Amino acid sequence: MTSTPPIRIGVAGAVGRMGRAIALSARGREDVVVSVLFDRPDFAGQTPEGFAAPLGDVAAALAGCDVIIDFTAPQASITLAQACAEAGGPALVCGTTGVSEADEARLRAAAERIPMVRTGNFSLGLNLMLGLVRQAAAALPARDWDVEVFEAHHRRKVDAPSGTALMLGAAAAAGRGVALADVSERGRDGLTGARAPGAIGFTAMRAGGIIGEHSVVFAAEDEIITFSHSARDRSLFARGALAAAAWVVGRPAGLYDMMDVLGFKRGDG
């Protein structure tokens, strides 16, 4: 029996919540091995609590990994993606949210030179829900059915709405054949006036240790449909990111998402 060597993974933001969850989820797996753990440049060489060895740095990850998994912060992700692109690899799995449209364009440019999986949510269930929301939005006329996206996350989350909420809003907009930017309604406060026809509204709650709650409500005058997803453990995203890492190594350069990794078909709404 031939055995393929494990995929060597670098973890950016290794000290953070997601970085730690990824390193933990990779333990005991035979298909992947965490080769380099690194965080901010000034952390290199330090051994944070709970770590068995000192942290590495980005140069070690570029040289010694097949793929880097990155859950950090927008500027850190852009810098890392550009470094991977300039070096012609490794591949990248990027889950950082709160990235501006201009910076998303920079990530897309980097993905012209390396294979990259980029998504605001790595869960199977949530990605399935995206397809259902798109189908519902295509079937339910906008003049009768209002769409609202609710999300709740822990008190330390720094961006809103969540990347996942925006993906759900984009799925509803795609089902209706409109651009989310043209119909998005955010941050209602005070005398807002009546709801604009066709608007897709967003509400964000920040409290306690909530890992990730998302609902999409389709509300007509006398009936309501709610799709909802609840993340119970961060390891859910870590497992999805590891699956994406194993999937992306060896692919042609380009930008992929979880629909590609999971083999879901697009445009079926």
- Contact in structure between 127 and 192 (CB atoms under 8 Å): no
The DSSP-derived string for 212-229 is EEEEEEEE-SS-EEEEEE
Segment contacting ligand NAD by CB under 6 A, of 28-36, 114-122, 143-151, 242-250: 114-122
Residue 219's CB is within 10 A of a number of other CB atoms, namely 15
Q: Is 71 a residue that touches ligand NAD (CB under 6 A)? A: yes
Segment contacting ligand NAD by CB under 6 A, of 25-33, 65-73, 129-137, 193-201: 65-73
Q: Is 98 a residue that touches ligand NAD (CB under 6 A)? A: yes
- Contact in structure between 149 and 142 (CB atoms under 8 Å): no
- Contact in structure between 87 and 62 (CB atoms under 8 Å): yes
Exposed/middle/buried for residue 13 (C-beta within 10 Å: 0-12, 13-18, 19+): buried
- Annotated catalytic residue 265: no
Least distance to ligand NAD, CB of residue 185, Å: 22
Strands (E), the chain: 7-12, 32-38, 67-70, 91-94, 115-118, 146-153, 184-186, 200-206, 212-219, 224-231, 254-256
Segment contacting ligand NAD by CB under 6 A, of 113-121, 131-139, 142-150, 182-190: 113-121
Interacting residue with ligand NAD among 119, 127, 203, 215 (CB under 6 A): 119
Least distance to ligand NAD, CB of residue 227, Å: 18
User: Which parts of 31-50 interact with ligand NAD (CB under 6 A)?
Assistant: 39-40
Alpha-carbon distance of 44 to 62, in angstroms, equals 14
Q: Is 73 a residue that touches ligand NAD (CB under 6 A)? A: yes
Interacting residue with ligand NAD among 9, 37, 76, 85 (CB under 6 A): 76
CA–CA distances in Å: residue 67 to residues 33, 164, 265: 11, 23, 25
- Annotated catalytic residue 157: yes
Segment contacting ligand NAD by CB under 6 A, of 92-100, 136-144, 202-210, 216-224: 92-100
Q: Kindly list the catalytic residues.
A: 153, 157
Binding site for ligand NAD (CB under 6 A): 12-13, 15-19, 39-40, 71-73, 76, 95-98, 119-122, 163, 237
